[in-house]
């Protein structure tokens, strides 16, 4: 959509025809449609990611802003209220959260809770009539993902997964090179994402909270990357699990390698771990290659191809991601990282766990 | 061995006690032991590698020189004779080759023939009483490797495999970082080596000549790398084979991924292909990492660690490798890349093929 057509679209909305011509949009503050006011976001869960990535990014966004919070910790509520000058009526805890349905000052709920809570809070947000951004992994099972998609469809709200990299220039270049066959057909993708996990008491190491280990947490980046590098959905997977520290990783997976086969014949070899550092995307095509390294962190992403260094803008991933979602809502477009996108990754995750359990090749 | 002790050693040899005190060294031209003359090498097989890598490297070596050739093509013999001013008596064909036993002007035979011929020519060279360098892969089976080792032991000649990277500074740094646990215990190794193969009629694509495809040809680099990065021998392997072009790769493997488990718990995920370009070694340890990329080609190798860029000398790999072997002979040391080293890689190769055939985990 060009700038001109977007302006036309917005003027149509402004003329009061919005709810007829754009039936799936509900409960956006009407100011937002004037293109003057920003979309109002409430963050659910005030852990590290909300505090140091989302809240800070929301100081840089053009189309959205921090308007509310949902937290179980009264002291955090107090601190954030002061720091961001939040209105008392936009502050909720997990018990009062559903009342957000009555709050016209909140357009979007951003769920940044531990993995196992995504399902519940996305569905509650949808039932409250709010659009939702849900952190990755979307949920801990395909079944949960489908229920979340269904709930958002039923409530006519839009859902996006916190895949910030789809708004990031180096990642977009990787997609272009792979999907448009800039160096010919993609033959092999290597993708790795892992880090050495710290505090052994954190929720990421508890199966009930995280749903899985490195695979769930950062392995999804490597799955995503193989999918967007080829532009295809994988058909088959084999996988191997290793534990170099069986004590620390009693409940969840530590290190997993997996191999994906795509319809075109392209194959991916990917890895995730909580044991040590790794972070890379490599697309090897018939006549050249593209490499991002670092590839999946908060930036700066760096990249090069067989033709030389890539020099693309370094952006605030989270700010770009939230602004992109705001524009999707303005323009009544589906997010490119919608619930289906999150579900597709969980389908691969479940197939990987099955391949580990059976020791064989699994059809996805 | 220090310079002083080496000089002492050489003077002892010069005093005529060589054959008693160093019983395993035979047929070295006596001049060589004076430390003045260079070790004389005959190249067997004058393909691309001999012409553009070994012969040129032998113009830069300090401790050895090109003295003879073995070729089945009369025109090549004539061309090389003129170009390198070779003595007619040091030029053989495959039928006359065994007469090299009587030629004191040749110390070492360098076998650079197609893989399937390594076994025959290494054994013939050993029987002729010549020390041998054999290109990688050492042979097309573990059984052949063992027979080659046995033949060299019986003939009291030394055998080295053409693993030039053991003489290369970046590779030596990777070995040091991994084996001396500079960044703590090695957790995960990634190693990839592959290229897009050209001419579909070449011997590398014929099973009878090559013994296998990318795995045999360049996959051994990735196996080697996992072994020298950990300093361990792998216990188990899983592997997956893919053919993105089943017509071109009718006889031999195109793309193989494999996973190795080491006694310490370290794991490796490796890849080889003839479909497209890839070349990298990554060692991920508890507290840091080392990456070489390019890692296995003829140079310049480049590298960095979690602490920054590596700035090591770029050397002529083949010249270093042959000089190192010459010094092993002078000092009566076993080469660090002896026949056992080649056999260990073939053991992994055979286990990889078995893992592909069975679809399961194979004990190495």
Its ipTM equals 0.89
pLDDT for the residue numbered B1? 29
pLDDT for the residue numbered B81? 98
Which residues in chain B touch residue A278, judged by CB atoms under 8 angstroms apart? 188, 190, 282, 284, 289
Residue A221 has pLDDT above 80, yes or no: yes
Segment B90-119 mean pLDDT = 98
How far off is chain B from A292, nearest CA to CA, in Å?
13
Percent of chain A with pLDDT over 90: 88
By Cβ distance, the residue of A190, A244, A261 closest to B242 is: A261
SS3 A308: strand
pLDDT for the residue numbered B37? 80
With an 8 Å Cβ cutoff, are B273 and A284 in contact? Answer: yes
CA distance B358 to B238: 10
With an 8 Å Cβ cutoff, are B190 and A192 in contact? Answer: yes
How far off is chain B from A243, nearest CA to CA, in Å?
8
Residue of B nearest to A288 (CA): B277
Instruction: Kindly state whether A265 is in contact with chain B, defined as any CB-CB distance less than 8 angstroms.
Output: yes
Instruction: Kindly state whether A359 is in contact with chain B, defined as any CB-CB distance less than 8 angstroms.
Output: yes
pLDDT for the residue numbered B32? 65
Which residues in chain B touch residue A360, judged by CB atoms under 8 angstroms apart? 359
pLDDT for the residue numbered B12? 32
pLDDT for the residue numbered B22? 36
Residue A5 has pLDDT above 90, yes or no: no
Which residues in chain A touch residue B243, judged by CB atoms under 8 angstroms apart? 265
For A40-49, how does the pLDDT look when each residue is reduced to its tens digit (9 = 90+)?
999 999 999 9
The DSSP bridge partners found for residue B43 are B69, B110
What would the 3-class secondary structure string for chain B be?
A: CCHHHHHHHHHHHHHHHHHHHCCCCCCCCHHHHCCCCCEEEEEECCCHHHHHHHHHHCCCCCCEEEEEEECCCHHHHHHHHHHHCCCHHHEECCCCHHHHHHCCCCCEEEECCCHHHHHHHHHHHHHCCCEEEECCCCCCCHHHHHHHHHHHHHHCCCEEECCHHHHCHHHHHHHHHHHCCECECEEEEEEEEECCCCCCCCHHHCHHHHCCCHHHHHHHHHHHHHHHHHCCCCCEEEEEEECCCCCCCCCCCCEEEEEEECCCCCEEEEEEECCCCEEEEEEEECCEEEEECCCCCCCCCCEEECCEECCCCCCCHHHHHHHHHHHHHHCCCCCCCEHHHHHHHHHHHHHHHHHHHHCCCEEC
Segment B154-181 mean pLDDT = 98
pLDDT for the residue numbered A30? 55
Two tokens at A267? 């194959």
Which residues in chain A touch residue B266, judged by CB atoms under 8 angstroms apart? 244
With an 8 Å Cβ cutoff, are A187 and B266 in contact? Answer: no
Segment B235-259 mean pLDDT = 95
Segment A156-179 mean pLDDT = 98
Residue A351 has pLDDT above 70, yes or no: yes
What would the 3-class secondary structure string for B129-187 be?
A: CCEEEECCCCCCCHHHHHHHHHHHHHHCCCEEECCHHHHCHHHHHHHHHHHCCECECEE
For B279-289, how does the pLDDT look when each residue is reduced to its tens digit (9 = 90+)?
999 999 999 99
Q: In 3D, which of B359, B95, B347 has the Cα closest to residue B234?
A: B347
Segment A178-183 mean pLDDT = 98
Q: Which residues contact B47 (CB under 8 A, 6 or more apart)?
A: B112, B113
What band does A35 get if pLDDT is binned at 50, 70 and 90? Answer: low
pLDDT for the residue numbered B282? 98
With an 8 Å Cβ cutoff, are B273 and A285 in contact? Answer: no
Segment A57-64 mean pLDDT = 97
For A324-337, how does the pLDDT look when each residue is reduced to its tens digit (9 = 90+)?
999 999 999 999 99
pLDDT for the residue numbered B271? 98
Q: What is the mean pLDDT of chain A?
A: 92
With an 8 Å Cβ cutoff, are B255 and A267 in contact? Answer: yes
For B7-37, how does the pLDDT look when each residue is reduced to its tens digit (9 = 90+)?
333 333 333 333 333 334 455 665 665 556 8
Two tokens at B32? 């060589």
Residue of B nearest to A278 (CA): B284
Percent of chain B with pLDDT over 90: 88
Which residues in chain B touch residue A361, judged by CB atoms under 8 angstroms apart? 359
> Active-site residue among B92, B163, B170, B221?
B221
What band does A6 get if pLDDT is binned at 50, 70 and 90? Answer: very low
Chain B residues 148-187 within an 8 A CB cutoff of chain A: 185, 187
Instruction: Kindly state whether A92 is in contact with chain B, defined as any CB-CB distance less than 8 angstroms.
Output: no
Residue B308 has pLDDT above 80, yes or no: yes
What band does A268 get if pLDDT is binned at 50, 70 and 90? Answer: very high
For B111-147, how does the pLDDT look when each residue is reduced to its tens digit (9 = 90+)?
999 999 999 999 999 999 999 999 999 999 999 999 9
Instruction: Kindly state whether B284 is in contact with chain A, defined as any CB-CB distance less than 8 angstroms.
Output: yes
How far off is chain A from B199, nearest CA to CA, in Å?
15
Chain A with chain B: Cβ pairs closer than 8 A: 105
Torsion of CA B110, B115, B119, B125, to 10 degrees: -20
Active site residues of A: 136, 221
What band does B261 get if pLDDT is binned at 50, 70 and 90? Answer: very high
pLDDT for the residue numbered A19? 34
Where do the domains of chain A lie, and which CATH numbers do they carry?
Answer: 3-164+320-338 (3.40.50.720), 166-312+345-363 (3.30.360.10)
Which residues in chain A touch residue B295, judged by CB atoms under 8 angstroms apart? none
Instruction: Kindly state whether A276 is in contact with chain B, defined as any CB-CB distance less than 8 angstroms.
Output: yes
Residue of A nearest to B194 (CA): A284
Residue B201 has pLDDT above 90, yes or no: yes
Which residues in chain A touch residue B288, judged by CB atoms under 8 angstroms apart? 277
Inter-residue contact A260 to A249 (CB < 8 Å):
no
Give Cα separations from A59 to A83, A318, A331, A353, A354 (angstroms): 12, 11, 23, 39, 42
Two tokens at A96? 């009062």
For A270-308, how does the pLDDT look when each residue is reduced to its tens digit (9 = 90+)?
999 999 999 999 999 999 999 999 999 999 999 999 999
Q: Let me know if B221 is a catalytic residue.
A: yes
Q: Which residues contact A146 (CB under 8 A, 6 or more apart)?
A: A343
What band does A27 get if pLDDT is binned at 50, 70 and 90? Answer: low
Alpha carbons within 13 angstroms on the beta-carbon side of residue A330 total 29
Altogether, the residues listed in chain B come to a count of 364
Report long-range pairs for B257-261 (Cβ below 8 Å, ≥24 apart): B257/A259, B257/A267, B257/A269, B258/B352, B258/B355, B259/A240, B259/A257, B260/B223, B260/B226, B260/B234, B260/B236, B260/B348, B261/A242, B261/B234, B261/B235, B261/B236, B261/B237
With an 8 Å Cβ cutoff, are B194 and A284 in contact? Answer: yes
**Phi-psi region at B16: left, alpha or beta (left = phi > 0; alpha = psi -120 to 50):** left
Chain A residues 207-236 within an 8 A CB cutoff of chain B: none
How far off is chain A from B12, nearest CA to CA, in Å?
51
pLDDT for the residue numbered B28? 65
Which residues in chain B touch residue A240, judged by CB atoms under 8 angstroms apart? 238, 259
H helix or E strand, kind and range, residue A186: strand A186-194
How far off is chain B from A192, nearest CA to CA, in Å?
10
Chain A residues 100-129 within an 8 A CB cutoff of chain B: none
Residue B164 has pLDDT above 60, yes or no: yes
Q: In 3D, which of B109, B125, B94, B347 has the Cα closest to residue B223?
A: B347
End-to-end CA distance of chain B: 35
Residue B247 has pLDDT above 70, yes or no: yes
């Amino acid at each position: 959509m060009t700038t001109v057509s977007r302006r036309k679209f917005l003027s149509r909305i402004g003329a009061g025809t919005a709810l007829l011509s754009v039936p799936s949009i509900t409960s956006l503050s009407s100011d937002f449609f004037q293109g003057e006011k920003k979309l109002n976001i409430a963050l659910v869960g005030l852990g590290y990611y909300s505090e140091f990535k989302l809240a800070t990014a929301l100081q840089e966004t053009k189309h959205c802003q921090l308007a509310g919070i949902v937290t179980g910790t009264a002291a955090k509520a107090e601190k954030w209220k002061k720091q961001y000058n939040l209105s008392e009526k936009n502050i909720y805890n997990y018990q009062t959260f559903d009342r957000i349905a009555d709050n016209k000052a909140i357009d979007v709920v951003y769920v940044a809770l531990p993995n196992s809570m995504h399902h519940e809070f996305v569905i509650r947000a949808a039932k409250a009539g709010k659009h939702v951004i849900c952190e990755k992994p979307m949920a801990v099972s395909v079944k949960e993902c489908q229920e979340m998609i269904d709930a958002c469809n039923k409530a006519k709200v839009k859902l996006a997964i916190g895949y910030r990299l789809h708004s990031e220039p180096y990642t977009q270049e990787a997609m272009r090179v792979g999907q448009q066959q800039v160096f010919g057909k993609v033959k092999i993708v290597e993708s790795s994402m892992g880090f050495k996990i710290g505090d052994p008491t954190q929720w990421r190491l508890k199966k009930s909270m995280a749903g899985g280990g490195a695979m769930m947490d950062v392995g999804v980046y490597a799955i995503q990357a193989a999918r967007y590098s080829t532009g295809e959905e994988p058909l088959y997977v084999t996988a191997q699990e290793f534990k170099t520290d069986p004590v620390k990783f009693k409940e969840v997976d530590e290190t997993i390698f997996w191999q994906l086969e795509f319809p075109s014949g392209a194959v991916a070899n990917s890895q995730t771990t909580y044991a040590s550092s790794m972070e890379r995307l490599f697309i090897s095509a018939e006549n050249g290659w593209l490499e991002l390294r670092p590839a999946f962190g908060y930036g700066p992403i760096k990249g090069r191809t067989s033709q030389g260094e890539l020099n693309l803008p370094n952006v605030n991933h989270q700010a770009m991601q939230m602004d992109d979602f705001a524009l999707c809502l303005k323009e009544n477009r589906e997010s490119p990282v919608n619930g289906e996108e999150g579900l597709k990754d969980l389908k691969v995750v479940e197939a990987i766990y099955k391949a580990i359990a059976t020791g064989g090749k699994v059809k996805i």
